[in-house]
Chains A and B, each alone.
Chain A
Amino acid sequence: MPPMKTISMIPRSVQLPLSDDVAETLHAGDELLLTGVMYVGRDAAHKRMIETLEAGEKLPVDLKGQTIYFMGPTPARPGKIIGSAGPTSSYRMDFYSPRLMAEGLKGMIGKGMRSLEVKAAMNQYKAVYLGAIGGAGALLSGCIKKVEVVAYDDLGTEALRRIVVHEFPVTVVNDIYGGDIYEQGRAQFRIAAPHPAAVQ
């Protein structure tokens, strides 16, 4: 395969966990390299966390200021800490995310569109939604330096994990100001449909 140069703006390095000050400087379309600690959980872990909160109990981890990555890895091969580790579709977490933002969740990483309710909550709680490249699980796996299961071990791939990442590439999808790269990007490149008669 010929070498391929990545043509883009130079990504900005951002340390996790995110602070309010940093979240305020992020804008839809920004490319970031994240370094630090994040949590990993998807459908089943979210369901349990919300059930825990509804029962009036404490979450197994303090989410204040933290970032959660919607991901369920493949099993690690012997000698490796994790397998393929790309993002899953985020809309399935829409039902749960506002409640977790109320608990202090500052960042979410996934792929695909979020609901209006989630976007409103991001604005309210100053939280951001970051996109990782779906289907780049092998590449993203290499950015993960440490993995531990912190709760719900019985859920297997869906367990709640704490991971340490180094220069994990993401794009800001939704910022705290209502910016949305999916809408902005599409608007920039969309070509209006021709009149039906002109379609061959």
Chain B
Amino acid sequence: MREIDSKMVTETISTLLQDGCYRLSDDVITALRKAYQREESPAARNVLAKLLENAEAADRDEIPLCQDTGMAVVFLELGQDLHIIGGDLYEAVQEGTRHAYDRGYLRKSVVDKPFSARTNTRDNTPAVIHTSIVPGEKLKITALSKGFGSENMSRLAMLTPAGGRQGVIDFVVKCVDEAGANPCPPVIVGVGIGGSAEKCMLLAKQALLRRVGDPHPDSEIAELEGGILNRVNDLGIGAMGYGGRITALAVHVEVFPTHIASLPVAVNLQCHSVRHREATL
């Protein structure tokens, strides 16, 4: 059985989180440039140009892209034939998070006792960890720094099956419309369809991890993504809500079978400051 040391997990998490907070990935830069070229609204074009300048400044001057360096959400795909040695796997993830936010001069935004004392944990832990066990002897790590301006605009609806495709579209469009300027558009719209309530929300989050603008491999789902994107961009919200043609850079949908009694739909929005990275050990 293959073995890896938990210290490698810690180091990888720290590197992924820091890299994400300082450097906008190529797919996002490309999407922002395309949006700039297509946008008709001068105010929105100004915002898009400034966001591209911001990405340059962040990289050059070693300043995080956004001051909300988020809560860390970590996805582990653990091969069942891999043995982690040298310590607790989850503690290794937390240590990597601690290290990233400390050494990377990232903002510590996590508070304990959320409905009462709201005491800052001072090291941005705990990271939220989602683990799946997969065949093989590798560990795939995906680390996302999720800002909460967009996270606060998340919604879940348990539609009736009669709602169908149109019900899904209408709910997603309504969520983006109501969120308006708040989630820092242009956004990536993550949509989960199916599963149980919590599975549906997880699908919406996982949808955000796809490269921006890559369509779903299933043509029916890809077509739904295109249909929702057109409707969302017809809302006219535009970059930072100042009015414009581009409200979303992409709509990503993930689907899972569900119960005969339900049509769950979840929306998880991602601001333009898309910060996720992955590595396989």
Chain A interfacial positions (CB closer than 8 Å to B)? 1, 4-9, 29, 31, 71-77, 80, 83-86, 88-89, 91, 111-113, 131, 133-139, 141-142, 156-157, 169, 171, 181-182, 184-193, 196, 199-200
Contacts and interface: CB of A to CB of B under 8 A. Distances in A.
A191 B235 CA distance: 6
A138 B61 contact: yes
A21 B173 CA distance: 41
B185 to A, nearest CB: 9
B227 A135 contact: no
A185 B242 contact: yes
Given A186-B236, A187-B236, A157 B43 contact: no
Given A74-B69, A185-B44, 16 more contacts: A5-B49, A75-B107, A83-B63, A83-B105, A84-B66, A134-B271, A135-B65, A135-B272, A135-B273, A137-B67, A141-B57, A171-B242, A181-B43, A187-B243, A189-B237, A191-B236
Given A31-B46, A75-B107, A89-B152, A189 B54 contact: no
Contact of A84 (B49, B53, B67): B67
A138 B43 contact: no
Contacts of A193: 173, 231, 234
A51 to B, nearest CB: 14
B20 interface: no
Contact of A133 (B56, B240, B245): B240
Nearest to B37: A4
A185 B43 contact: yes
10 contacts: A7-B42, A74-B63, A89-B149, A89-B152, A111-B184, A141-B61, A156-B120, A157-B107, A189-B41, A200-B223
A139 B53 contact: yes
B68 interface: yes
Interface of B: 29, 36, 40-47, 49-58, 61-69, 105-109, 120, 147, 149, 152, 166, 169-170, 173, 180-182, 184, 223, 227, 231, 234-238, 240-245, 271-273
Nearest to B59: A138
Contact of B149 (A73, A75, A134): A134
A189 B64 contact: no
Contact of B56 (A1, A6, A74, A192): A1
A179 to B, nearest CB: 13
Contact of B107 (A74, A91, A113, A186): A74
Contacts of A192: 234
A163 to B, nearest CB: 13
